[in-house]
């Protein structure tokens, strides 16, 4: 049997790793993972097939980690999966001669690591054309079979197979052949032929006049192949094409080589985000599937991290504090998910670069607008329609503009809610984002980011037959914010990241007889200097400044909701309070963090942060420590301990309304865990944690003098909390076929309103939280995903009957012990189907996202009859199918 040698270079798992020493947004996120443009192979070199292997008819794959510098040169080859028999040496010699277009981030070339699979296969007798995956047609060999079928006399036949780089057949790929037949007169029309691949990837084009043709191959999820074929009369040409999976920034995970500056960072890539069932492709809702987060009731947007309140966690857009994450607190993100580079979620023990939070941190990173050409899409679903336009405007500038507007108001306004209730002119939301990127040199990158969001909701209680029911509630929230980010690399050892932001956050709300109008103007400035003294010593120092100017005008109830309040206190409105005026608060912070990797396999991080909280006039100093130790090659131990502070919210510390003498809320985080890489794509992480909370704000009736008058302080800092538990995450990283994870959290979160009192459970104490997510790519542009959740029911305070208030003609509830009862366990299955059609430059994506497939009736909170003698449950949303269509250019 005659054999020929065939050498195929294969992109491996597309895992690209940043090298140390570069500047850029990804780096300043303490090594946080980010997405970027991967390196592109420009010059491929055939390896010499080892003689020994050839003699023994051996084939092999050699897996290597290539170190590619910012110029695209391969500076090191590390064989990670040797094959022996001379394969390793041959592959190394070839790969050392590769030339790449370097990986890019924010328009800046960066050094990186690339996992590369060099495949040695023996060619069979089949004659084929092999096309390299990166449009490197020059390197492809082209051997023709000159056998001619009689029926095709005078014409040619092009037949063959389309596969991916792992030789898996690609079905439904479209092959376009176009050009001028070589023998035809010039006036003849050009020829265009088309074929689709069969399930085995095979195709055939017959009766092709001789000539030179352009060839285009398109398949969903793969880069479009452009090439050419020269066909001669009577030729039967059998070819083989291998397509490269789309290597856009959504599909390449970039991981920091350096140890992260926090003990635990959960990462969600855009590829995962957009396909998680039950989220409608929304980025931030995906966070709620991570371990350590509690399930939000009614599908709302609260992010309860390791037993801390939603307000105790910090939320950032590109290093600047975000006003809020969601429209209506949970419907969908206020930032277009397609503009996000990645989201980093720190459930605890986070770096000193983050402050003013005692829970967790969510750091959302926007991406650079695409700069190769103009792109755009229109995206429609049941809730809203959005558009995105992006592309280069000059050699150094690229820009992205996105907007979205809901139309659920048009739907809900026409629904009959009954005689007593109408929803007027609401809910509606819109948002927009503009990102402009300027990258004049490798060392500089400037990003301008401006966004706005506007939510309005009006409930109108109106009955034309009975004027009994009148009035309404309305909420109008708006935020506009401009940000500037400048990253500058002075040298390989010194770089700087400067961020500044100016916002306007406003609210105009009315609830019955109460009203509140507020306008907050935050000014934020952050600068971090990164100094790398040596390969094992690094220092990051930074300032984190925030000033807030607020105008408020409020008529609000004297009572205030705090954690632990029972559900029913509508009848407990205290004396109406009027507050108006101006407020100004300075919140400067400074931090320094030292990282040392001198001890082999060990990373030690020590940091100190100090903050001033102007609204309560208090200082804090937070030392934090984290360590990682590589116990074995794929096993890492990690631990951390640190102190965290945050101020009470503005109402609680306001001198006219709350208690200006409140202490800073304080938390001590401790954690210990292990990360185990089980295989190339599967990782297991287990972590235990304990968190102690002090100075938790609780309600108080103690008297105080306010404006010379006796009043109550309303709040004190006597509360205490403790949270302990463990998290486990078994994750299959995204590949061509599958991604998914199973997360489980076992946790207990408790509070008490004063030391010495009995502990009670926290409002969102969810003892068990199990989430399983998986998405499988089926081929032909189809994919299917499942999400299943099994979560302990939330605690609630039981009501043991009611007492008739003869004064107001209402009933008041008789409560049991706070949070002494628990709702039934929550369980729900969500399913998602995706289908993508790809044409030359157009792509059409549709999805069907079915929430609560088996229509589980999950209690969300109890509801009682007017005299509290009967109880029922408000259940979560029933089965809801949601569809979306996205047309991309």
Partner 1 sequence: MRNGTFENNKRNIRLFFDENPPAHFAGIPKAQNAVTPAKAGVQNAADLHHFVDSRLRGNDVFSPSETLSFGKGGCCTDSPFLKGARGIFDMASQTAGMAAVLLCTLSLILTGCFDFESNHMVTKFKVLAVQAEPPEIAPGEGFEMEVLYADPAGNGREVSFAWFMCINALSPAAPLRPEIGLGACIPAQSPVVETAANDGHIFVADETPVDLMSLYPDGLLNQPGGVPVDAQIVYVTAVVVACAGGQLPGPARLEAEMAIVKNPANWCEGGDGFATYKVIRVTPPTNPRPNENPLFEKVQVQARTMAPLAAVNMADNTSGVFQCPRTGKCELKLSLEAHLTPESLQTYHTKSPDGFALIDEVLYVTWYTTGGEMAYDRSIAASPSSPYENKWLVKAPGDYTLWAVAHDVRGGVSWESFQIRIIEN
Residues 384-423 that bind partner 1 (CB under 8 A): 412, 415, 417-421, 423
Of 378 and 712, CB closest to partner 1 = 712
Q: Enumerate residues 805-834 that contact partner 1 by CB under 8 A.
A: 805-810, 812-818
Structure tokens at 323: 């006003």
Residue 840 to residues 159, 477, 886, 888, Cα–Cα distance (Å)? 21, 42, 16, 11
**List of residues 6+ apart from 456 with CB closer than 8 A:** 425, 426, 427, 428, 429, 474, 475, 476, 477
Q: Which has the closest alpha carbon to 650: 764, 554, 718?
A: 554
- Check residue 559 for interaction with partner 1 (CB under 8 A): yes
Q: Under rule CB under 8 A, which residues in 212-231 are in contact with partner 1? A: none
Nearest approach, Cβ of residue 637 and partner 1 (Å): 35
Within 8 A by CB and 6+ apart from 52, the residues are 58, 85, 86
When asked if residue 135 is in the footprint of partner 1 (CB under 8 A), the reply is no
Answer for the pair 746, 696: CB distance below 8 angstroms, yes or no.
Answer: no
Least CB distance to partner 1 at residue 313 (A): 9
In 680-732, where do the E strands start and end? 682-706, 709-732
Which residues lie across from 459 on neighbouring strands?
423, 473
CA 715 to chain centre: 36
Candidates 107-115, 354-362, 465-473, 523-531: pick the segment binding partner 1 (CB under 8 A): 465-473
**Residues linked to residue 506 through DSSP beta bridges, in sequence order:** 478, 519
Q: Write down the least CB distance from residue 816 to partner 1, Å.
A: 7
Q: Taking CB under 8 A as the criterion, which residues in 237-266 touch partner 1?
A: none
**Contact map string, positions 738 to 777, toward partner 1, x by CB under 8 A:** ---------------x---------x--------------
The interface mask with partner 1, positions 840-859, x = CB under 8 A, is: -----------------x--
Q: Which is nearer to partner 1, 56 or 817 (by Cβ)?
A: 817
651 binds partner 1 (CB under 8 A): yes
Residue whose CB is less far from partner 1, 60 or 662? 662
- Look at residue 571 and give its three-state secondary structure: helix
d(CA 724, CA 600) in angstroms, rounded, equals 32
Q: Does 710 bind partner 1 (CB under 8 A)?
A: yes
Q: Which of 134, 284, 562, 773 binds partner 1 (CB under 8 A)?
A: 562
> DSSP E strands: which ranges in 82-155?
99-101, 103-105, 108-110, 112-123, 130-131
Instruction: Report the residue from 15, 53, 662, 799 that binds partner 1 according to the rule CB under 8 A.
Output: 799
- Binding residue (CB under 8 A) for partner 1 from 76, 490, 599, 874: 874
Nearest to 362 by CA among 298, 317, 426, 308: 317
Q: Does residue 427 have a cis peptide bond before it, meaning omega lies within 30 degrees of 0?
A: yes
User: Residues 477 to 536: which contact partner 1 by CB under 8 A?
Assistant: 477, 505, 507, 509, 511-514, 516, 518, 520
**241 phi and psi angles, rounded to 5 deg:** -115, 135
Is residue 650 within the footprint of partner 1 (CB under 8 A)? yes
Q: By CB under 8 A, is residue 865 in contact with partner 1?
A: yes
Of residues 50-89, those binding partner 1 (CB under 8 A): none
Structure tokens given for 98: 């590769």
Among 247, 659, 698, 777, binds partner 1 (CB under 8 A): 698
Alpha helices in 208-337 (DSSP H): 270-273
By rule CB under 8 A, what count of residues binds partner 1?
Answer: 130
Site for partner 1 in 293-332 (CB under 8 A): 296-302, 310-311, 323-324, 326, 328-331
Of 145, 396, 565, 882, the one binding partner 1 (CB under 8 A) is 565
Please provide the DSSP assignment of 598-656 as one string. -STTEEEEEEEEEEEETTTTEEEEEEEEEEEEEEETTEEEEEEEEEEEEPPPHHHH-TT
Q: Which of 160, 201, 503, 557 binds partner 1 (CB under 8 A)?
A: 557
- Strands 826-838 and 795-796 turn out to be unpaired
**Of 98-106, 591-599, 686-694, 797-805: span binding partner 1 (CB under 8 A):** 797-805
Q: Which of residues 422-461 bind partner 1 (CB under 8 A)?
A: 423, 427, 455, 457, 459, 461
Least distance in angstroms from the C-beta of 379 to partner 1: 21
In the block, tokens 């008490």 appear at 752
Nearer Cβ to partner 1, position 559 or 680? 559
- Block residue for tokens 């790449």: 100
Candidate ranges 122-130, 600-608, 795-803, 881-889; the one touching partner 1 (CB under 8 A): 795-803
């Amino acid at each position: 049997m005659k054999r020929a040698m065939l050498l195929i270079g294969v992109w491996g798992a597309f895992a690209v790793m940043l090298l140390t020493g570069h500047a850029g947004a990804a780096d300043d996120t303490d090594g946080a993972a980010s997405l970027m443009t991967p390196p592109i192979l420009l010059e491929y070199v055939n390896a010499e097939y080892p003689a020994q292997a050839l003699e023994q008819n051996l084939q092999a794959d050699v897996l290597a980690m290539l170190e590619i510098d910012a110029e695209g040169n391969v500076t090191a080859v590390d064989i990670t999966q040797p094959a022996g028999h001379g394969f390793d040496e041959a592959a190394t010699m070839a790969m050392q001669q590769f030339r790449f277009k370097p990986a890019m981030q924010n328009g800046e070339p960066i050094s990186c690591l690339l996992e590369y699979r060099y495949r040695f296969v023996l060619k069979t007798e089949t004659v084929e054309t092999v096309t390299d995956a990166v449009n490197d047609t020059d390197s492809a060999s082209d051997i023709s079979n000159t056998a001619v079928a009689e029926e095709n006399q005078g014409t040619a036949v092009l037949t063959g197979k389309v596969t991916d780089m792992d030789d898996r057949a690609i079905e439904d790929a479209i092959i376009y052949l176009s050009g001028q037949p070589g023998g035809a007169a010039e006036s003849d029309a050009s020829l265009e032929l088309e074929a689709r691949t069969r399930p085995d990837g095979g195709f055939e084009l017959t009766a092709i006049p001789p000539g030179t043709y352009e060839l285009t191959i398109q398949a969903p999820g793969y880069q479009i192949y452009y090439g050419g074929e020269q066909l001669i009369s009577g030729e039967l040409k059998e070819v083989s094409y291998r397509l490269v999976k789309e290597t856009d920034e959504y599909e390449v995970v970039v991981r920091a080589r350096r140890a992260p500056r926090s003990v635990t960072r959960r990462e969600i890539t855009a590829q995962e985000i957009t396909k998680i069932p039950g989220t409608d492709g929304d980025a931030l809702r995906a966070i709620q599937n991570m371990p350590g987060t509690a399930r939000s009731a009614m599908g709302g947007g609260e992010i309860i991290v390791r037993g801390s309140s939603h307000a105790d966690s910090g939320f950032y857009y590109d290093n600047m504090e975000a006003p809020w994450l969601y429209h209506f607190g949970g419907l969908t993100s206020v930032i277009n998910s397609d503009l996000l580079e990645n989201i980093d979620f720190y459930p605890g023990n986070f770096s000193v670069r983050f402050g003013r939070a005692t829970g967790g941190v969510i750091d959302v990173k926007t991406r650079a607008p695409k700069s190769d050409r103009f792109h755009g899409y229109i995206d429609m679903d049941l809730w809203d329609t959005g558009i995105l336009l992006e592309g280069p405007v000059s050699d150094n500038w690229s820009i992205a503009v996105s907007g979205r507007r809901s139309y659920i108001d048009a739907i809900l306004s026409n629904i009959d809610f009954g005689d007593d209730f109408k929803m007027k002119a609401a809910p509606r939301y819109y948002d927009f984002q503009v990102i402009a990127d300027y990258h004049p040199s490798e060392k500089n990158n400037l990003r301008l980011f401006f966004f706005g969001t506007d939510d309005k909701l009006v409930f109108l209680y109106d009955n034309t037959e009975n004027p009994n029911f009148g009035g309404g509630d309305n909420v109008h929230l708006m935020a506009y914010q401009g940000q500037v980010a400048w990253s500058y690399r002075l040298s390989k050892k010194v770089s700087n990241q400067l961020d500044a932001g100016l916002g306007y956050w406003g609210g105009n709300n009315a609830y019955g007889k109460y009203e509140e109008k507020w306008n907050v103007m935050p000014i934020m400035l952050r600068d971090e200097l990164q100094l790398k003294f040596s390969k094992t010593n690094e220092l990051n120092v930074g300032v984190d400044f925030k000033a807030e100017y607020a105008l408020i005008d409020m008529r609000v109830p004297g009572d205030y909701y705090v954690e632990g309040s029972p559900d029913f206190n509508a009848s407990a409105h205290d004396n109406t309070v009027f507050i108006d005026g101006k407020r100004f608060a300075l919140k400067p912070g400074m931090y320094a963090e030292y990282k040392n990797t001198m001890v082999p396999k060990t990373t030690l991080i020590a940091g100190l942060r100090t903050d001033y909280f102007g609204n309560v006039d208090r200082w804090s100093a937070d030392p934090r420590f984290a360590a990682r130790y590589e116990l074995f090659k794929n096993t890492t131990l990690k631990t951390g301990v640190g102190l965290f502070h945050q101020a009470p919210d503005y109402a609680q510390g306001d001198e006219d309304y709350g208690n200006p003498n409140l202490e800073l809320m304080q938390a001590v985080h401790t954690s210990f865990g292990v990360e185990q890489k089980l295989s190339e794509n599967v990782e297991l992480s287990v972590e235990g944690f304990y968190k102690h909370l002090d100075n938790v704000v609780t309600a108080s009736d103690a008297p105080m003098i306010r404006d010379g008058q006796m009043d109550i302080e309303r709040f004190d800092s006597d509360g205490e909390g403790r949270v302990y538990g463990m998290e486990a995450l078994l994750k299959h990283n995204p590949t061509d076929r599958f991604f998914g994870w199973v997360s489980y959290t076992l946790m207990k979160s408790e509070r008490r309103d004063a030391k010495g009192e009995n502990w009670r459970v926290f409002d969102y104490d969810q003892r068990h939280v199990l989430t399983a997510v998986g998405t499988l790519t089926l081929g032909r542009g189809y994919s299917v995903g499942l999400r299943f959740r099994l979560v302990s029911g939330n605690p609630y305070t039981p009501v043991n009957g009611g007492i008739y208030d003869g004064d107001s003609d209402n009933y008041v509830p008789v409560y049991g012990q706070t949070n002494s009862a628990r709702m039934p366990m929550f369980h729900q299955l969500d399913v998602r189907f995706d289908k993508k059609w790809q044409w030359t430059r157009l792509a059409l994506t549709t999805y069907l996202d079915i929430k609560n497939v088996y229509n589980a009736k999950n209690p969300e909170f109890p509801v009682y009859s007017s005299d509290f003698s009967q109880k029922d449950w408000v259940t979560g949303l029933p089965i809801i199918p949601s569809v979306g269509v996205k047309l991309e250019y």
